[in-house]
Structure 1
């Protein structure tokens, strides 16, 4: 895995260790309070090969190995939303570490939509899965640091951003400035709501580090990247930089979304992610099975 570190800028500023999972273009983060050596994981990945319906813990093991080498104590396992493009590793990491799992409280509303799609009326009760559901402006302690929660709907109706001093983990809202923004065409998504969420993040201080959830490169930039500043997004983001209006953005975003295929892991991933990364229980033959709605999308 490609891994890079964004150093702390001084007291109160976290160090951020990131790893790039190339198959899904996902980035998982370790946020470190240098003063106390406490850490939080954000959006850890459980690897999944859709061709063979096979999981592995390679990416999640990277996080465990890094915590051990760095001498860090894991305080939280945070997810920003139920991901459509990769499987969560939160449940597996909790089994390994005992650290509590956290997600935005509106996962309950997102789950209602997907219960109907999967015809699984008695599944996806997030209280069985996550230890804590967080809401707008709620805070979590990370050693001497504070993790602040911001509701950022649009990609999903319940996505959250985690802000730790001068670092904002904005998941599937912004992508890198040269790539623009993320899609909003999934059930419960809204390009209009996404635009409004995108206006909150650029109101932060100019030098705030913005860490995105995914990167796929561009025609000009082949190497993955995941960090930029608020100023770079405000001035140069491909979709909203320089003061693009809400109507302009909605037109561009919806037209773009209409051309996109479903992520190749989406129908596999969501039924797992509403369970926090747990696979369905084994059936009477001891085998676990995923349920795929045919001709639904």
Structure 2
């Protein structure tokens, strides 16, 4: 793989700045969300978003897709949603006595699955298979999904009645999990000013980058240098989650039932590379790994019932894991 040149890094920085500017023109705050979305896009992954309603998840996804001239679709997940409603189906035409294929909304560059835990396990499985294989099969014919392809799935943590919890094996397929917070009073006031001035009546933005630019950013992230010490650092972190009793204090170790799979280590590598490029560097530093620790691990750690009862946050356990590892 060719090394990352200063020219490539400069071009990547220019593209990222343009996208960030377009995002900020429509979305107030949510800088952490934007960073997670950019990391996910550059790492060719998918992201799980958790928050109460009204924190601009749909707006953020729509604005980001418009900024890079990508197609966007939104699926409102409900218990009666069928796999064919997402991936597509064959439609019979009685005039010609033939079947034609109608592709579903998953065949878009950016797909928002709103409240994914409200759909049935069968529908969740069909969607997550498309995420993994990046293709769908309809009537025995395989249809490739567009490139780039990004799934943003949302969950509402305060309204769990009538929901189907995602199995851990499916959660593991999301590169990152971002937990959104309410805006600060200053940001909320700024949002109201924009609404009062009519600046947010139209949520679309003019494209400031192309799909070719997105593919270029992905190739730049792939070429970011990762030192052997960083790789050992990631492996040590992930292994501590699997054997917490040997490394963590007893009062913390008892809260971890299962640790991260090898996908967790891969996610750290991919996300850290993308984070380094976002910060204008051609190489990964330990702080890039530290900076994505919560997003990478919070949905990959299975906590015990005791932890849930004590309201122990996965982020607190992640911090304890990192505190037990010497930074290279």
| Fold equivalence (TM over 0.5) | no
More helix by share: 2
Structure scoring higher RCO (CA < 8 A, sep ≥ 6) equals 2
Rg larger in 1 or in 2? Answer: 2
TM-score (norm 2): 0.28
More strand by share: 1
TM-score (norm 1): 0.30
